[in-house]
Structure 1
Amino acid sequence: MGKKVAFCEAGYDSFYGAQQSLYTFLVNVDREKIEPVFVSPGEGEFTKRISEIGIDVEVIRQPEVFNKRGNVLKEKGLSSKIKALTGYFKHVKRYMNYYKKENIETVYCNDIRSILTSGLAARLRGIPVVWYVRVDKRLGIFNWFASNIATRIVTISNNVQNIFPKKLIINANKKFKTIYTGINLEQVDAVSTTSCLREELNVNKDTQLVALIGSIQPRKGQKDFIEAIYEIKKNHLYDAEDVKFLIVGDIVDESQRNYLEELKEMVKKNQMEEMVIFMGRRNDVLSIMKQVNLVVLPSYSEGLPRVVLESFACLCPVVATDVAGTGEIVDDKQNGLLIKPGNIEMLFKSILFMLEDKARTKEMGKNGRKKIEDCFKLESYISNLEELLLSV
């Protein structure tokens, strides 16, 4: 029987980059070394997928106030704050009881919300906590608190460590470790493109396809993408027969609904409905990546964006903002183009360059695939994370 490890993720009803990377690990982990259980504050798409691969899921329901995104301490009124804090400590206590009952030996937290609840419960029980930091968000006191809870801190890229004070990294150097996530190239290569995207979109083989793939939220930069597309339209450089721009993904929760509506209004106002297509949430993302000419990721914050890794695995080049670990994947002008976040002109010109130089774009796609083969193998991700979990 392997070491019993509880894996925790607050985004139980999502299946984007962070959840996909953890799922990949759980599918491939050596269960003779590690016996995984999954502990969740609710039920949804992610917990369903975890159950389907034969891992026990324990649901420890969180108070309703914690289903909101953001800081629950911003609740209005003293009584609401007290109620939220009381619910928080009761929730932590439930995790503590579960860990004791199930003889959990290590707790792995996949996000900030889980380490502040399930991670704290483990620390209070004297159980080692591994925190995998996947996004370069500076959360002030919350990052400080979480870093004190964690026994080991794994960052998804070297640059993500910059969210922590340099003094902390220097003083606790052995606490930090970078482990790149990996891509299963055999799985990517097995993905079929028989469901033709061009037929679905009713476009011919000469129409170029450019996709932004990711959850609909401001930090992903969909608004900048639409503004760059408007520059292309305004200057009469391409029309809807020449290129289609796809926005693939959906909101994570209702707090982003207004943002999605704002994006759709921008497209309508600028008469770009034939040029910009909202695809919604898709289960065939890899197939889409294999059929588009370019993937764009104009994010304001990332960790090590899985969409870039998967695009490269699919021989698709990218235009991406140089944030966090993106520059550790993208070699500028070799397998894609790096731009500054929020710079619409750079985004517009970079997309235009890729559309115009098809031979160079295709070569960049090949270089991207080689980067994955050389630096982001699935086997390295699995073995490195297994080794760390067994060592704490």
Structure 2
Amino acid sequence: MAQQRRKILLLDNGKEWGGGTNSMLELLKRIDRQRFDITCCFYYNYTRGEGETIEKVLNSIQIPVIFIPQRKQPGWAKICKEVARAFLFFSKSGRKKVTAYIDSQWRIKPNAMALREQLQKDGYDILYMNNQPGSNLEGYLAAEPLNVAVVQHCRIEPVMSQAITKIVNHTGDAIIAVSHGVESVLLNHGVKKSLCTTVPNAIDIHQPLPSGEAVLRSLGISDDTFLFGSIGSLIPRKSCHHTLEALHRFHQQHPEAKWKFVLVGEGADREKLQRQAADYGFADRVIFTGFRNNPLDYLAAFDVFILASKSEGLPRVVLESMLLKTVVIGSNVTGTAELIDSGRTGLLYPYGDTVMLASHLQQVWRDSALRDALTQAACQRVIDNYAIEHYVAGVEAVLGAVKPTRNEYV
């Protein structure tokens, strides 16, 4: 007897294209359409380079998409937050609680009602959420009274509280963590172990790999220039200012070095980072490309990829760098540290330690034998452990087995 297709509403309430978006798309391209009938629900039709929208990409792979329109924060909410900041200046936790309550009233609860209506109207079996629990609270609220299974795909180290843990344990039916580190954070905050499954992020290890030569030509970079690079949103969490600070130290120690730094991505920190590079006196060595649809071409062009983030889940961009045999230097945080065996498949440094980061930059710049050894071992690790087929099968196993069972409060 044929298994009935499971009807899934995939919720992504993000505002910008990121690694989690790409991982989601890789899953949707490969998921078994005979078993799973997926519709995506977005708040924003965000774009990547060249104006390509998420709606357009989903349509190209025959995944239907709906949007829940979002309103701007009302004036009363802004005023209430300002009053709270003034009267609770002595209590950070108090300000957070008041802000969370205000946001729940004007944003989270209305979105929960709209989601619940959608879930009921189209008879979905599963609500599958693509972020982290604290960012998807409306999904838990929407599904709580319904006979709908709730699956959270936790794609980043989650920010948890007792209240969030309580909601997850009561309403959630499964949580997919993208790394063992992310699962550990969930468990340490009291999330039930029975809910958690680790399905590591992965990439297509059989895809054609670029050489990077076209990028070097387009940027006007000569073959004898050592190229440092980074790819990602230019936002505080990515900590690109630490990379620039380390490059400043490297530049002072080795003024003779011929190098450039390419930053691929867009975000609120761009102007600040441009000023920082100018203040250090090497604005001509730093190239801001904006968002690009071909990040692998850039990774292939880099001699070294740097990920200075404050937090990660299991960054695809590190896997891609390793597959392309580009040296990876990363902050020792959840996710990144799970991929890099420091000194064997890349180099790690304590988050924010720009002195050690500068030392690593010097090491890989000087030592071509070290670069070769790191990249060979890194590439083999990806091939052996992070093929996309394992990722898809793992997610399908969770979606195929999950049932809506509302747990008791704990």
Q: Normalization by structure 2: what TM-score?
A: 0.85
Counterpart amino acid of residue 42 in structure 1: Y
Picking from 215, 218, 226, the partner of 2:233 is 215
Q: CA separation of 1:272/1:324 partners in 2, compared to 1, >3 Å: closer, same or farther? A: same
Q: Distance in 2 between matches of 1:83 and 1:201?
A: 44
Q: How many matched pairs? A: 375
Q: CA separation of 1:83/1:196 partners in 2, compared to 1, >3 Å: closer, same or farther? A: closer
Aligned counterpart, 2:405: none
Measure how far apart 1:346 and its partner are.
Answer: 0.6
- Are the aligned partners of 2:162 and 2:189 in contact in 1 as well (CA < 8 Å)? no
Q: Distance in 1 between matches of 2:202 and 2:282?
A: 37
Q: Does 1:85 find its partner at 2:89?
A: no
Q: How do 1:359-370 residues align onto structure 2 when only pairs under 5 Å count? A: 359-370=369-380
List per-residue Cα deviations over 1:216-274 (Å, max 9, x = no partner).
111212000000111112223444xx1111111111xxxx3xx3222111111121012
- Are the aligned partners of 1:157 and 1:179 in contact in 2 as well (CA < 8 Å)? yes
Aligned counterpart, 1:289: 299
Picking from 53, 57, 60, the partner of 2:61 is 53
Picking from 362, 367, 370, the partner of 1:352 is 362
Aligned residues: CA RMSD: 2.5
Counterpart amino acid of residue 181 in structure 1: N
Picking from 147, 150, 163, the partner of 2:185 is 163
- Are the aligned partners of 1:296 and 1:320 in contact in 2 as well (CA < 8 Å)? yes
Q: Distance in 2 between matches of 1:167 and 1:212?
A: 32
List per-residue Cα deviations over 1:74-94 (Å, max 9, x = no partner).
734599976860553232111
Aligned counterpart, 2:175: 153
Q: Distance in 2 between matches of 1:231 and 1:268?
A: 15
Counterpart amino acid of residue 234 in structure 1: Q
Q: Distance in 1 between matches of 2:103 and 2:271?
A: 33
Counterpart amino acid of residue 59 in structure 1: F
Measure how far apart 1:324 and its partner are.
Answer: 0.5
- Are the aligned partners of 1:248 and 1:281 in contact in 2 as well (CA < 8 Å)? yes
Q: Distance in 1 between matches of 2:80 and 2:334?
A: 28
SS state of the match for residue 37, structure 2?
Answer: strand
Aligned counterpart, 1:269: 279
Aligned counterpart, 2:222: 204
Q: CA separation of 1:26/1:175 partners in 2, compared to 1, >3 Å: closer, same or farther? A: same
Measure how far apart 1:163 and its partner are.
Answer: 2.9
- Are the aligned partners of 1:232 and 1:238 in contact in 2 as well (CA < 8 Å)? no
Measure how far apart 1:145 and its partner are.
Answer: 4.9
- Are the aligned partners of 1:147 and 1:153 in contact in 2 as well (CA < 8 Å)? no
- Are the aligned partners of 1:244 and 1:277 in contact in 2 as well (CA < 8 Å)? yes
Q: Distance in 1 between matches of 2:395 and 2:261?
A: 37
Aligned counterpart, 1:94: 114
Measure how far apart 1:192 and its partner are.
Answer: 3.8
SS state of the match for residue 38, structure 2?
Answer: strand
Counterpart amino acid of residue 248 in structure 1: V
Q: CA separation of 1:124/1:86 partners in 2, compared to 1, >3 Å: closer, same or farther? A: farther
Q: Distance in 2 between matches of 1:58 and 1:74?
A: 32
Picking from 104, 128, 131, the partner of 2:149 is 128
Q: Does 1:17 find its partner at 2:24?
A: no
List per-residue Cα deviations over 1:197-229 (Å, max 9, x = no partner).
222222221111110111111121200000011
List per-residue Cα deviations over 1:149-177 (Å, max 9, x = no partner).
321111111111343353725xx221111
Q: Distance in 1 between matches of 2:386 and 2:241?
A: 30
Q: Distance in 2 between matches of 1:229 and 1:65?
A: 40
Measure how far apart 1:193 and its partner are.
Answer: 4.1
List per-residue Cα deviations over 1:312-368 (Å, max 9, x = no partner).
111112001110021221111111001110001110000110111112202211211
List per-residue Cα deviations over 1:48-77 (Å, max 9, x = no partner).
3222211110112233239xxxx9997345
| Structure 1, unaligned runs of 5 or more | none
List per-residue Cα deviations over 1:277-321 (Å, max 9, x = no partner).
112111111011112111011111111111101111111120011
Q: How do 1:316-331 residues align onto structure 2 when only pairs under 5 Å count? A: 316-331=326-341
Q: CA separation of 1:373/1:114 partners in 2, compared to 1, >3 Å: closer, same or farther? A: same
Q: Distance in 1 between matches of 2:283 and 2:333?
A: 30
| Overall identity of the aligned pairs, in % | 24
Q: Does 1:3 find its partner at 2:25?
A: no
Measure how far apart 1:132 and its partner are.
Answer: 1.2
Aligned counterpart, 1:106: 126
Q: Distance in 1 between matches of 2:265 and 2:16?
A: 11
SS state of the match for residue 100, structure 1?
Answer: helix
Counterpart amino acid of residue 221 in structure 2: V
- Are the aligned partners of 2:158 and 2:186 in contact in 1 as well (CA < 8 Å)? no
Aligned counterpart, 1:339: 349
